[in-house]
């Protein structure tokens, strides 16, 4: 064997010193979830700074020829006895006093103490070089290798840089109203205690408006606790923006809320503002919990297995293949729950796990940035069972009263960074909506599966919308693609109305002992609300050439292999404040939707003529003529009404009144096919971050001016993505030209214009119609699976908290006829799965 010094000299040119901007992966293997704490440690390539576990380092060496690796191994230090004073180790040894992460007084982050051993390993003979060994080597070798080792050691790892370790929820901004707040000289003086709401006599959660001194109760929380919204209603009536929470006033400050700014704020003139109403801030004592303390209490309860987490029951931990926990990276429980469920679906297993060896062999030089590789890595980590092992008990305590259930599990840092990259929400550590993430991930799968198996097809289905003009009784049929059934919650159908009204009455009377009653909603009532016809009051009928009333009925044109149902628990109140409906729904284990299958045009039924309504006149559109009646093809100043936007001006006006840009409102109405304010609002909410959100609406066949013209080249990547969904290249081209070459808008456009595509060829897996079987044109639209509409429940995701932007997600999955709860790193047999409290339900087709 050659002398190690000579070997180092021969590979010196491949050893780099990390520079600013280099991505150093020293915490996680690029192809597995091995880490420095894993058996065999982690090998960091000293040229590319990619990390590899012992299973994959030889593969990287053979593919690249790289020989020098920085080897890191870590072993956990035994905790001192004085640190182990918290029983099982679950409650933090110090109770949080600050709504923050990673700073003094805040919530603890995972900062285990390790002993670390580092050295350089030279492959393929695995020769070792320690820092002491370098001292005896030539200066040129010693300097380069030492600098590289030191650079890797001191560099922030990619996972650390991506994960914000400190977050302070108490940093508040000075209110813009504080300096010049108007206070009424009404002679009102507020006593130092004994406050009651002036409307309902409630004695808790009491706020004083700093403009007129009105003493009123605060907002009602999602679970029925809190107040009765009287302080908020007072702001809506008067516009007086600031209120202080009585009971939190101390010489150091108080809770001040700005209704106008919709946030907790600072008021630098608070002593002066309180003095105006006779309150001496220096003599006040705290008698109520601050909003921060209330939020801390909520965040602490998240980890105590309450409510949906089946509290009060000793749950048996489970380990093995398909039973792997996922670490919470800071509000990543929404991602954990969704991915646990998706990798229960055979399509995702087949695509990403069954052939993982081939995926890894085909991985690019930097697999950390490859979608297929990282999804496969996650899927294998969840299903293999390699990481489904009990986590080491801190301090090796043996007196825990019950199993902890925590696993070593996997930390999906690379996956989260990749799927969230560039997204304004999923790239952050804030809590997110699990339904929105599910659709975001499905969209990424669609874009990355241009050939071969596309697992998102398991959820894809066609929806048929039938609109009937009530004046002419003629109908119009349209189809669109969807992945989720959104089920409305008809609160007026609650079966325990008397109990709800009694609890409400007692609360309004200030009875603090009034029980919290959850509305019991029959699942059949939710399905009826979904299937019943919707009344359209401003429908433009091409049969009678005017606006009239129509009915819209929605049915399934196809039934997917796997059906996702979202319970629409999150809504907006009349004051546009988000709220969560506290409901219990008797969701069934089996579901038969056969009666909701679309039937298409009925015998003898007449269709509405394909005539566009008059164009919407807006300040930026001037109609100079109508082609065919006043002009000719050579006259550029004239155009056909068929190229004009088919827009409902009342819906556009309503959206504009909400404060959205005119062009965004026009696009929302256009791309949702004039189906009403709700659909248009949802489109706006999901496209607000588009770079062209406020850009002018570009119509099919029209030049966009500064945008794409019919002759301008289109993105081959965008074309390939749309073709992979089952459309022809011509159809993809038409959609992209109609939407300025913006992929998301093109997909929206093509699904809302299926009728316009009937005369165009649709590909089957990239083939033209002439090449398809029998030479027969398949119906326009994406590839969808179809079968009987009978399903069985196999998973559901539940949410705890006041809104999708806070709280906690867990999921329950049926494995071998046993319900299992996945709560981040805890995986246990479920004793009482709370199927009535879920948010997202997942059904699979029952084979007949």
Q: Which residues are annotated as a binding site for Zn(2+)?
A: 197, 200, 217, 230
Which of 107-121, 498-512, 513-527 is least confident?
Answer: 107-121
β-pairing verdict for 808-815 and 818-823: antiparallel
Confidence of residue 225 (pLDDT cuts 50, 70, 90): low
Q: Between these two residues, 84 and 136, which has the higher pLDDT value?
A: 136
pLDDT of residue 374: 97
Lowest mean pLDDT among 267-281, 380-394, 511-525, 621-635: 621-635
Banded pLDDT at 232 (limits 50, 70, 90): very high
pLDDT band at 624 (very low <50, low <70, confident <90, very high): very low
Q: Read off the pLDDT of each residue in 256-261 and give the average, rounded to a whole number.
A: 91
Rounded to an integer, what distance in angstroms lies between the CA atom of residue 37 and that of residue 27? 9
The confidence band for 270, taking pLDDT boundaries of 50, 70 and 90, is very high
Cis peptide before 124 (omega within 30 of 0): yes
Q: For residue 585, what pLDDT is reported?
A: 94
pLDDT at 293: 62
Q: Which residues are catalytic?
A: 333, 808
Q: Report how far apart the first and last C-alpha atoms of the chain are (Å, whole number).
A: 66
Determine the Cα–Cα distance for residues 353 and 381; give it in Å rounded to an integer: 9
Q: Which residue has the higher pLDDT, 431 or 388?
A: 388
Beta pairing class for 206-209 and 215-217: antiparallel
Cis preceding-peptide flag for 449 (omega within 30 of 0): no
- Of 30, 683, 139, 819, give the one whose Cα is nearest residue 370: 30
**Which tokens go with 467?**
């609109």
Whole-Å CA distances, 534 to 236, 548, 676: 32, 14, 10
Q: Taking a C-beta distance cutoff of 8 angstroms, is the pair 345, 454 a contact?
A: no
Confidence at residue 299, expressed as pLDDT on a 0 to 100 scale: 44
Of 295, 391, 257, which Cα lies nearest the Cα of 101?
295
Model confidence band, residue 658 (pLDDT cutoffs 50, 70, 90): confident
DSSP 8-state assignment for residue 505: H
Query: Cα angle vertex 531, ends 527, 534, to 5°?
Result: 130
Distance CA 811, CA 341 (A): 8
Highest mean pLDDT among 44-53, 311-320, 440-449: 44-53
Query: How distant is the alpha carbon of residue 291 from its chain centre?
Result: 26
In the chain, what percentage of residues exceed pLDDT 70?
Answer: 76
The pLDDT of residue 108 is: 52
Q: Is pLDDT of 348 > 80? A: yes
Residue-wise pLDDT for 325-339, tens only, equals 999 887 889 999 999
Tokens of 710: 């019919």
Determine whether 561 is exposed, middle or buried from the number of CB atoms within 10 Å of its CB (0-12, 13-18, 19+). Answer: buried
> Between 810 and 159, whose confidence is greater?
810
Predicted pLDDT at 778: 39
Residue 832 pLDDT class (50, 70, 90 cuts): confident
- Cα distance between residue 530 and residue 528, in whole Å: 5
CB 47 within 8 A of CB 16: yes
Predicted confidence at residue 705, as pLDDT, reads 38
Q: What is the 3-state secondary structure (H, E, C) of 325-383?
A: CECCCCCCHHHHHHHHHHCCCHHHHHHHCCCHHHHHHCCCCCHHHCHHHHHHHHHHHHH
When pLDDT is averaged across residues 276-293 and rounded to a whole number, the result is 80
Two structure tokens written together for 597: 């299958």
Mean pLDDT of all residues in 362-371: 93
Q: What is the pLDDT of residues 10-37, one digit of tens each?
A: 999 999 999 888 899 999 999 999 999 9
Copy the structure tokens of residue 223: 């679970």
Q: How far is CA 322 from CA 391, 408, 814, in A?
A: 17, 14, 11
Least confident range from 69-73, 285-289, 729-733: namely: 285-289
Q: Taking a C-beta distance cutoff of 8 angstroms, is the pair 200, 217 a contact?
A: yes
Is the predicted pLDDT of residue 512 greater than 50, yes or no? yes
Closest CA to 49 of 149, 144, 143, 131: 149
Are the C-beta atoms of residues 752 and 766 closer than 8 Å to each other?
Answer: no
CA within 13 Å, CB half, 413 = 21
Tokens (6 digits) for 529: 């609300």
66-70, 152-156, 562-566, 618-622: least confident range = 618-622
The torsion angles phi and psi of 591, rounded to 5 degrees, stand at -140, 130
* Mean local confidence (pLDDT), 68-80: 84
Question: Exposed (0-12), middle (13-18) or buried (19+): which is 802, by Cβ within 10 Å?
Answer: middle
Q: Got the DSSP string for 77-146? A: PPPPGGG--STTS-S-SS---SSEESSTTSB------EEEEEEEEETTTTEEE-HHHHTTS-HHHHHHHH
Question: What distance in Å separates the CA atoms of residue 108 and residue 104, rounded to the nearest whole number?
Answer: 9
Give residue for tokens 């080491």. Answer: 392
What would the mean pLDDT of 583-603 be, rounded to a whole number? 94
Instruction: Check: CB of residue 198 under 8 Å from CB of residue 215.
Output: yes
Cα separation, 203 vs 510, in Å, equals 7
At 595-614, the pLDDT tens digits run 999 999 989 999 998 765 54
For the ranges 255-264, 283-292, 487-496, the lowest mean pLDDT is seen at 283-292
What does each C-alpha distance from 761 to 214, 752, 769 come to in angstroms?
68, 17, 6
Distance CA 387, CA 170 (A): 37
Beta 546-556 vs 461-469: how paired, if at all? antiparallel
CA distance 779 to 352: 30
Torsion from C-alpha of 191, 195, 197, 201, nearest 10 degrees: -130
Please count the CA atoms within 13 angstroms of the CA of 33 that sit on its side-chain side: 25
Query: Could you tell me which residue, 186 or 96, shows the higher pLDDT?
Result: 186
The pLDDT tens digits for 166-188 are 344 556 789 999 999 999 999 99
> Which of 60-69, 157-166, 649-658, 719-728 is least confident?
157-166
| Strand partners for 558 | none
Over 90: is that where the pLDDT of 198 sits?
yes
More confident residue, 837 or 452: 837
Residue with tokens 């827009």: 647
- Residue scoring higher pLDDT (539 or 522): 522
Lowest mean pLDDT among 135-139, 570-574, 765-769, 815-819: 765-769
Q: Find, among 426, 405, 406, 404, the residue nearest to 415 by Cα.
A: 426
Phi, psi at 149, each rounded to 5°: -60, -45
DSSP count for the chain of H helices, then E strands? 22, 28
Q: Average per-residue pLDDT in the chain?
A: 80
> Which of 600-604, 671-675, 787-791 is least confident?
671-675
Higher pLDDT, 202 or 353: 353
Closest CA to 673 of 779, 754, 762, 780: 754
pLDDT value, residue 160: 56
Instruction: Answer whether 820's CB lies under 8 Å from 829's CB.
Output: yes
**pLDDT for residue 376:** 97
Closest CA to 168 of 107, 252, 234: 107
Check the CA dihedral 12-17-18-20 and report its sign: negative
Q: The whole model's pTM is what?
A: 0.68
Q: How confident is the model at residue 68 (pLDDT cuts 50, 70, 90)?
A: very high
Across 78-87, 443-452, 556-565, 777-786, least confident range: 78-87
pLDDT digits (tens, 9 = 90+) for 378-400: 999 999 999 999 877 655 444 34
How far does CA 10 lie from the centroid of its chain?
50
Please name which of 806, 845, 374 lies closest in space to residue 593, comparing C-alpha atoms: 845
Q: What is the pLDDT of residue 440?
A: 92
Question: Vertex 435, ends 433 and 437: CA angle to 5°?
Answer: 70
Question: What does DSSP say about strands 485-487 and 562-567: parallel, antiparallel, or unpaired?
Answer: parallel
């Amino acid at each position: 064997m050659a002398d190690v010094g000579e070997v180092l000299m021969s590979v010196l040119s491949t050893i780099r010193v990390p520079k600013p901007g280099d991505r150093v992966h020293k915490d996680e293997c690029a192809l597995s979830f091995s880490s420095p704490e894993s058996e065999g440690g982690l090998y960091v390539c000293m040229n590319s700074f990619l990390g590899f576990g012992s299973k994959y380092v030889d593969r990287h060496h053979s593919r690249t020829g790289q020989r020098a690796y920085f080897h890191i191994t870590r072993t956990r230090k035994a905790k001192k006895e004085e640190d182990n004073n918290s029983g099982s180790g679950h409650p933090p040894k110090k109770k949080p006093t600050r709504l923050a992460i990673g700073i003094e007084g805040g919530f603890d982050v995972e900062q285990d103490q390790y002993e670390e051993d580092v050295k350089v390993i030279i492959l393929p003979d695995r020769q070792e070089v320690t820092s002491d060994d370098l001292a005896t080597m030539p200066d040129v070798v010693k300097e380069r290798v030492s600098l590289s080792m030191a650079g890797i050691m001191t560099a922030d790892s990619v996972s650390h840089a991506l994960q914000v370790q400190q977050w302070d929820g108490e940093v508040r901004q000075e209110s813009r109203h504080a300096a010049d707040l108007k206070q009424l000289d009404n002679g009102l003086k507020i006593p130092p205690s004994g406050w009651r709401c002036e409307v309902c006599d409630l004695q808790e959660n009491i706020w004083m408006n700093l403009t007129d001194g009105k003493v009123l109760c605060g907002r009602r929380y999602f679970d029925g606790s809190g107040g009765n919204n009287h302080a908020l209603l007072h702001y809506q009536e008067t516009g007086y923006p600031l209120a202080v929470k009585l009971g939190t006033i101390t010489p150091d400050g108080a809770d001040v809320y700005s209704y106008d700014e919709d946030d907790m704020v600072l008021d630098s003139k608070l002593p002066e503002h309180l003095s105006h109403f006779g309150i001496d801030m220096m003599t006040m004592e705290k008698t109520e919990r601050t909003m921060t303390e209330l939020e801390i209490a909520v965040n602490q309860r998240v980890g105590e297995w309450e409510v949906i987490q089946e509290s009060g029951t000793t749950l048996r931990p489970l380990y093995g293949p398909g039973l792997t926990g996922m670490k919470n990276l800071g509000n990543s429980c929404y991602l954990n729950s969704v991915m646990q469920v998706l990798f229960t679906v055979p399509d995702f297993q087949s695509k990403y796990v069954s052939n993982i060896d081939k995926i890894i062999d085909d991985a690019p030089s930097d697999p950390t940035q490859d979608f297929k590789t990282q999804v496969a890595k996650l899927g294998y980590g969840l299903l293999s069972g390699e990481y489904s092992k009990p986590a080491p008990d801190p301090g090796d305590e043996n007196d825990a009263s019950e199993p902890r259930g925590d696993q070593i599990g996997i930390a999906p840092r690379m996956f989260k960074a990749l799927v969230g990259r560039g997204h304004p929400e999923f790239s952050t550590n804030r809590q997110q909506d699990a339904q929105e993430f599910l659709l975001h991930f499905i969209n990424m799968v669609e874009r990355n599966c241009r050939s071969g198996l596309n697992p998102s097809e398991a959820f894809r289905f066609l929806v048929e919308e039938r609109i009937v003009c009530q004046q002419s009784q003629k109908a119009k049929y349209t189809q669109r693609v969807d992945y989720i059934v959104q089920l409305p919650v008809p609160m007026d159908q609650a079966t325990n109305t008397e109990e709800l009204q009694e609890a409400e009455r007692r609360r309004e009377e200030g009875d603090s002992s009034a029980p919290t009653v959850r509305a019991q909603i029959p699942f059949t009532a939710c399905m009826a609300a979904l299937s019943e016809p919707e009344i359209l009051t401003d429908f433009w009928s091409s049969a009678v050439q005017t606006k009239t009333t129509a009915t819209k009925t929605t049915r399934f044109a196809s039934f997917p292999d796997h059906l996702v149902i979202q319970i629409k628990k999150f809504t907006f109140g009349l004051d546009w404040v988000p709220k969560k409906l506290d409901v219990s729904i008797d969701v069934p284990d089996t579901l038969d939707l056969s009666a909701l299958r679309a039937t298409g045009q009925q015998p003898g039924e007449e269709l509405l003529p394909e005539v566009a309504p008059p164009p919407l006149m807006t300040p930026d559109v001037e109609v100079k003529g109508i082609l065919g009646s006043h002009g000719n093809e050579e006259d550029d100043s004239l155009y056909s009404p068929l190229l004009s936007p088919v827009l409902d001006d009342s819906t556009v006006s309503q959206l504009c009144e909400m404060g959205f840009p005119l062009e965004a409102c026009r696009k929302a109405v256009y791309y949702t096919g004039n189906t009403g304010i709700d659909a248009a609002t949802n489109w706006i909410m999901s496209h607000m971050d588009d770079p062209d959100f406020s850009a002018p609406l570009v119509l099919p066949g029209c030049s966009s001016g500064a945008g794409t013209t019919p002759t301008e080249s289109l993105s081959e990547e965008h074309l390939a993505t749309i073709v992979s969904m089952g459309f022809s290249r011509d159809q993809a081209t038409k959609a992209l030209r109609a939407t300025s070459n913006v992929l998301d808008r093109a997909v929206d456009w093509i699904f809302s214009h299926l009728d316009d595509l009937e005369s165009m060829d649709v590909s089957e897996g990239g083939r033209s119609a002439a090449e398809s079987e029998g030479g027969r044109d398949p119906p326009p639209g994406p590839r969808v699976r179809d079968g009987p509409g009978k399903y069985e429940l196999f998973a559901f995701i539940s949410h705890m908290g006041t809104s999708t932007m806070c709280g906690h997600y867990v999921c329950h999955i049926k494995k071998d006829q046993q319900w299992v709860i996945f709560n981040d790193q805890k995986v246990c047999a479920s004793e009482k799965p709370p199927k009535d409290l879920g948010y997202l339900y997942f059904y699979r087709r029952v084979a007949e």
